[in-house]
Amino acid sequence: MIPGAPNEHFIAIAESLKPTLNTTKSSPLRLIKCIADENAILGWAAEDAGKLDDIKSLRDGDEIIFDFGTHRAGFFEFDIDAVLTGVEPADAPVRLKIVFGEVLNDVAESFDDYKAWISKSWLPEEIINIDYLPALKYRMSRRHAFRYIKIQVISTSLRFGVTFNNPTAYAVSSAPTQDPSPLSFSKAGDWLSEEEKTKLRKIDEVSLRTLRNCMHTVYEDGPRRDMRLWIGDLRLQALCSYATFKDYNLAKRCLYLFAGLPFNDEGLLCACVYEKPVPKFGGNSIVDYAMLFAVTLLDYVKASGDLKCGEDLFPIASKQFSFFAKNFTEDLRYIIPERSMSDGGEGWHFIDWQPTLDKESSEHAIMIYCLKATQELAEKLNLDTPLFILPDSPSAAPLPDIVERLINAHRRHYFDPSRGVFVSGKDRQLSWAANAWAVLAGVPESKEAGARAMQIAYETKNAITGMTPYLHHYLCEAFVAIGQEKFAVKHIIDYWGSMVDAGAETFWEGWDPKQPRSSPYGDLHSNS
């Protein structure tokens, strides 16, 4: 696969916007040990294991676990010294295994039987050798995401043990060091109980920590693994930041990076870009992500007022549909090509990691949603909108006409009037995704019809739900769009609240409350 030629001008603009990272220093609160607990959602509980000042000489096979109290993305530093058994000095290196844990499972369970299809090198463990003792302020060079740190002594020698002092975490983020004001309920009315308000405040706290720990020199999709910039994640992270940290330049940097590093010479966007050691092509393209670039650009322009960025990147955003119009049949049904993710190209359609989800209806609706955003962006920038050709007509048509034809086709192919819901595929599958995206695209003939479809899909027992907070966001956004804010808030409490109940210090990229150890990659330890 040959990447498109980089746009050096756009990359230079992105590099000029690279932020300085803020650093926050902290010490662990306690030592812990992990106890199997069948009542804990993820199977483990923590017990106190003594005071930090009580660390004695550790020898081969011994371990300690530090609890830093909350999650951060950053670096670990410590002092280590030998505890001698005689007068001879330490006569060998000390070999340590250091494991970084976001949740107790990371430091309680072995990684030896790791089963995920993504690389084991992402697992948050390192083996280090320290040749000379004492070693003061030994700083590990790799950044990790963690609340817990387990240090296992693999080997010393017969002549000495080791002890640790001054364990220190240095959290790094481009977010401001000060959090926004606590969540207020002045407009919530009387329908929220005090217990629900308390849960929502905790969810908001974890949300802010999640956002902060993903804000580095780009919006990372996860600070534990991948550490990469993806369009879908960028859109939601930037929206959160506009409402909280008010950081516009980081989103702008990310937008220019995508525009400067295309998937091919025709201008198709990459789904992700690599930032280090230098910005480069990401190696794949996702249909829904490429389309959502226009929405992400519109969000940024509306939030920041930066029309110049909008004008620079509008030609790229508005061109994306031209790559996917060929996926429509002559009667304007959207067809997902028979390709696997590993084939790359334009064959990857995401929507959600739910393996049984039929994506046809959702992708069709996303086309409408994103074309509407393209039209709105053009009007805001006072630019002409592009013309497109669909397979049902040989003539190029303006965007409003394209949108109208696609809405009519969506109602024709995917609305089931007998059930009052939107379905997908030859088996007429009922899913949250199909109905949420139809509502967001404005496909239902009325707000009331959209509300009925959403409620039926949400409450039908065998409807296909979502595996990722990513899709659950769009479910909640759809509820808000049809005036069902109470459904949205209840779902936030139930879904994101269940992660809090499971011990989440930050929200996870994949989560099914009914299958808490599930992972889109095949192993819980691969989740970020």
Cβ atoms 297, 251 nearer than 8 A: no
Residue 393 lies in a domain: yes
pLDDT at res. 182: 83
162 and 68 within one domain: yes
218: nearest Cα among 21, 7, 9 = 21
Mean pLDDT by 10 residues, the chain (528 residues): 89 98 97 97 95 91 97 98 92 97 96 93 97 97 97 96 97 94 76 93 96 98 93 98 96 98 95 95 94 98 98 98 96 84 63 96 98 98 94 94 98 98 97 98 97 97 97 98 95 97 95 93 90
pLDDT at res. 313: 98
How far apart CA 364 and CA 423 sit, in angstroms, is: 12
115 and 55 within one domain: yes
pLDDT at res. 189: 64
Cis bond upstream, residue 355 (ω within 30): no
Residue 92: how many other CB atoms lie within 10 Å: 14
Residue 431 lies in a domain: yes
Residue 208 lies in a domain: yes
Residue 265 CB-density burial (10 A; 0-12 exposed, 13-18 middle, 19+ buried): exposed
How far apart CA 447 and CA 183 sit, in angstroms, is: 29
How far apart CA 296 and CA 231 sit, in angstroms, is: 8
How far apart CA 508 and CA 353 sit, in angstroms, is: 13
CA–CA distance from 313 to each of 32, 244, 247, 272, 443 (Å)? Answer: 51, 25, 19, 17, 28
How far apart CA 268 and CA 259 sit, in angstroms, is: 9
Boundary (domain end) residue, out of 173, 188, 219: 173
402 and 490 within one domain: yes
139 and 216 within one domain: no
CA angle 291, 297, 300 (to 5 degrees): 145
How many domains does the structure of the chain reveal?
Answer: 2
How far apart CA 173 and CA 22 sit, in angstroms, is: 5
112 and 259 within one domain: no
Domain CATH code at residue 107 = 2.60.120
265 and 138 within one domain: no
244 and 165 within one domain: no
Boundary (domain end) residue, out of 120, 138, 173: 173
How far apart CA 264 and CA 246 sit, in angstroms, is: 33
pLDDT at res. 342: 44
278 Cβ contact list (under 8 Å, min separation 6): none
pLDDT at res. 340: 45
Per the listing, tokens 């992270």 go with 237
217 and 161 within one domain: no
Domain CATH code at residue 299 = 1.50.10.10
Positions of E strands within 308-420: 387-388, 397-398, 415-416
241 and 105 within one domain: no
How far apart CA 44 and CA 248 sit, in angstroms, is: 40
442 and 294 within one domain: yes
Residue 188 lies in a domain: no
418 and 302 within one domain: yes
How far apart CA 505 and CA 202 sit, in angstroms, is: 10
Cβ atoms 485, 191 nearer than 8 A: no
Residue 376 lies in a domain: yes
Cis bond upstream, residue 279 (ω within 30): no
Query: What three-state secondary structure class fits 127?
Result: strand
Residue 3 lies in a domain: no
* DSSP per position, 230-264: EHHHHHHHHHHHHHTT---HHHHHHHHHHHHS-SS
CA–CA distance from 393 to each of 23, 334, 385, 401, 407 (Å)? Answer: 57, 15, 19, 12, 16
Boundary (domain end) residue, out of 135, 155, 173: 173
pLDDT at res. 3: 84
Residue 7 lies in a domain: no
Residue 416 lies in a domain: yes
CA–CA distance from 73 to each of 66, 126, 127, 146, 472 (Å)? Answer: 15, 16, 19, 6, 25
Cβ atoms 488, 479 nearer than 8 A: yes
What residues make up the domain containing 68? 25-173
209 and 159 within one domain: no
How far apart CA 365 and CA 372 sit, in angstroms, is: 11
